[in-house]
């Protein structure tokens, strides 16, 4: 006799290791801007701050390094990855292609259950637009896209997009907070959802494309303004 159990009875023991927790904390600290771009991640300092051993910190940094959130400077150790407009442009371009593809396939594959999920995510997004908390808007946006990608069956693309989003998190926060975006962003999201509900892949794809093109333009302006500011104050 084996120990096999029906899946429903299976004990879902999630052994969240210290390493995983450390990765999440560090990623959150970087994405929230607490560790700014270029910030040096000194291992023994992080040991004190997170209260875990060096092994854990080092392994977590290796993971974030592969994610692209952290860069290793030879003989200097890890720093928070820097972002210039050229990199950001590339990332927006990749996102555009992957998200447009996901929206199209999502529109094709939409069933009743997915329709309900998307409806819920859209509702939550609308409420988030009224909220003051940028984190709420950020989370609701993420959830909205997650439904689209998962419905489309594009799980790997979703992983990639999430990873890319981590690298432009500061920019994303800025664009989400941008005032024009509050009005036009909501309208564009609505259009994406409508096209998907109408099961019109082409229209969904185009809507995503317009949405992201606009986001990239806003990001470009914001990044250049930020760089100008840094140049003035820095030098």
Residues at the interface with its own copies (CB under 8 A)? 13-15, 19, 55, 58-60, 62-68, 74-75, 86-87, 90-91, 93-94, 97-98, 101, 153-157, 159-160, 164
Partner whose binding site includes residue 52, from its own copies, DNA, none (CB under 5 to 8 Å by kind): DNA
Q: Calculate Rg over the CA atoms of the chain.
A: 20
Partner whose binding site includes residue 78, from its own copies, DNA, none (CB under 5 to 8 Å by kind): DNA
3-class state of residue 221 by DSSP: helix
* Complex with DNA: residue 57 or 212, whichever CB lies closer: 57
**231 contacts DNA (rule: CB under 7 A):** no
**Residues 21-40 within binding reach of DNA (CB under 7 A):** 40
Instruction: Compute the least distance from the CB of residue 18 to DNA, in Å.
Output: 3
Which residue, 163, 178, 167, 173, is CA-closest to 83?
167
Which residue, 143, 195, 138, is CA-closest to 169?
138
How far apart CA 18 and CA 56 sit, in angstroms, is: 7
Token couple for 197 = 């509900």
How far from 18 is each of 38, 57, 60, 68, 159, CA to CA, in Å? 25, 9, 9, 21, 22
* Complex with DNA: residue 43 or 180, whichever CB lies closer: 43
In sequence order, the 6+-apart residues with CB closer than 8 A to the CB of 162 are 142
* Complex with its own copies: residue 98 or 189, whichever CB lies closer: 98
Partner whose binding site includes residue 228, from its own copies, DNA, none (CB under 5 to 8 Å by kind): none
Question: Which stretches of the chain bind DNA, using CB under 7 A?
Answer: 1, 13, 17-20, 40-45, 52-56, 58, 72, 75-78
């Amino acid at each position: 006799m084996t120990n096999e159990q029906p899946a429903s009875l299976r004990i879902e023991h999630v052994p969240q290791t210290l390493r995983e927790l450390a990765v999440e904390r560090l990623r959150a600290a970087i994405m929230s801007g607490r560790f700014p771009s270029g910030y040096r991640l000194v291992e023994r300092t992080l040991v004190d701050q997170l209260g875990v051993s060096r092994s854990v910190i080092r392994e977590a940094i290796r993971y974030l390094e592969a994610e692209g959130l952290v860069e290793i400077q030879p003989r200097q150790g890890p720093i928070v990855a820097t972002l210039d407009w050229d990199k950001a442009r590339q990332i927006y371009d990749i996102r555009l292609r992957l998200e447009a593809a996901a929206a199209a396939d999502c529109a094709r594959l939409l069933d009743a259950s997915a329709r309900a999920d998307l409806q819920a995510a859209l509702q939550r997004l609308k409420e988030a637009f009224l909220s003051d908390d940028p984190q709420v808007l950020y989370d609701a946006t993420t959830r909205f896209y997650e439904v689209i990608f998962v419905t489309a069956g594009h799980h790997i693309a979703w992983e990639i997009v999430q990873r890319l989003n981590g690298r432009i998190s500061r920019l994303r926060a800025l664009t989400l907070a941008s005032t024009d975006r509050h009005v036009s962003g909501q309208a564009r999201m609505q259009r994406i959802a409508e096209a998907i509900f109408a099961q019109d892949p082409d229209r969904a794809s185009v809507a995503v494309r317009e949405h992201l093109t606009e986001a990239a333009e806003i990001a470009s302006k914001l990044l250049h303004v930020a760089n100008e500011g840094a140049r003035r104050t820095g030098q």
